[in-house]
Structure 1
Amino acid sequence: MSTAQTKPVVLVTAADLAPQALALLDDFEIVFAGRQPTEDEIVALCETHKPAAIIVRYGKVNARIMDAAVGLQVISKHGSGIDVIDQEAAAQRGIAVRAAVGANAAAVAEHAWAQILACAKAVPSLDQRMRAGHWDKSTHKSVELDGRTLGLIGLGAIGKRVAAIGLAFGMRVLAYDPFAKSAPDEVTLVDLDTLYASSDVISLHCPLTDSNRRMVNRAAFARFKRRAILVNTARGGLIDEAALIDALADGTLRCAALDSFDVEPMIVPHPFRDIANLILSPHIGGVSDAAYVNMGTRAASNVIAVLDARAQATH
Structure 2
Amino acid sequence: MTAAATAASRPAILVTGADLADEAVRTLDGYGLVYAGARPTESELLALVRQHDPVALIVRYGRISAAIIEAARSLRVISKHGSGIDTIDTAAAAARGIAVKAAAGANAAAVAEHAIALLLACAKSIVPLDARMHAGHWDKATHKSIELAGRTLGLVGLGAIGRRVAAVAHAMEMRVIGHDPYAQDLPAWIEPVDLPRLWAEADAISLHCPLTDANRDLINAATLAQCRDGLLLVNTARGGLVHEADLLAALRNGKVAYAALDSFQQEPPSMPHPFQGQPGLLLSPHIGGVTQDAYVKMGVGAARNVLQALQAF
Give the TM-score of the pair, scaled to structure 1. 0.96
Per the alignment, residue 158 of structure 1 pairs with 161
Residue-by-residue CA offset, 1:25-65 (whole Å, 9 max, x unaligned): 11100000001111111111111111100000001101111
1:204 aligns with 2:207: yes
Q: Distance in 2 between matches of 1:43 and 1:219?
A: 40
Match of 2:54 among 46, 51, 55: 51
Moved over 6 A (4+): none
Per the alignment, residue 262 of structure 2 pairs with 259
Q: Distance in 1 between matches of 2:195 and 2:224?
A: 12
Q: Distance in 1 between matches of 2:227 and 2:28?
A: 48
Residues 271-286 of structure 1 correspond to what in structure 2 (within 5 A)? 271-286=274-289
Measured after TM superposition, the shift of residue 289 of structure 1 is: 1.0
Per the alignment, residue 137 of structure 1 pairs with 140
Q: Distance in 2 between matches of 1:5 and 1:144?
A: 60
Per the alignment, residue 83 of structure 2 pairs with 80
Measured after TM superposition, the shift of residue 309 of structure 1 is: 1.1
SS of 1:4 mapped into structure 2? coil
Q: Distance in 2 between matches of 1:239 and 1:118?
A: 20
Residue-by-residue CA offset, 1:206-236 (whole Å, 9 max, x unaligned): 0000000001111000000110100000000
Residue-by-residue CA offset, 1:162-197 (whole Å, 9 max, x unaligned): 000000000000001111234211110011111111
Residues 83-232 of structure 1 correspond to what in structure 2 (within 5 A)? 83-232=86-235
Give the fraction of aligned pairs with identical amino acids, expressed as a percent.
59
Gaps of 5+ in 1: 311-315
Q: Distance in 2 between matches of 1:280 and 1:36?
A: 21
SS of 1:26 mapped into structure 2? coil
Q: How many equivalent residue pairs? A: 308
1:15 aligns with 2:13: no
SS of 2:275 mapped into structure 1? helix
Measured after TM superposition, the shift of residue 94 of structure 1 is: 1.3
Match of 1:24 among 19, 22, 27: 27
Measured after TM superposition, the shift of residue 5 of structure 1 is: 2.5
Measured after TM superposition, the shift of residue 276 of structure 1 is: 1.4
Gaps of 5+ in 2: 1-5
* 1:168 aligned partner, one-letter code: A
> For the aligned residues, what is the CA RMSD?
1.0
Q: Distance in 2 between matches of 1:298 and 1:207?
A: 18
Q: Distance in 1 between matches of 2:98 and 2:193?
A: 37
SS of 1:271 mapped into structure 2? coil
SS of 1:159 mapped into structure 2? helix
Q: Distance in 1 between matches of 2:267 and 2:7?
A: 36
Q: Distance in 1 between matches of 2:126 and 2:272?
A: 24
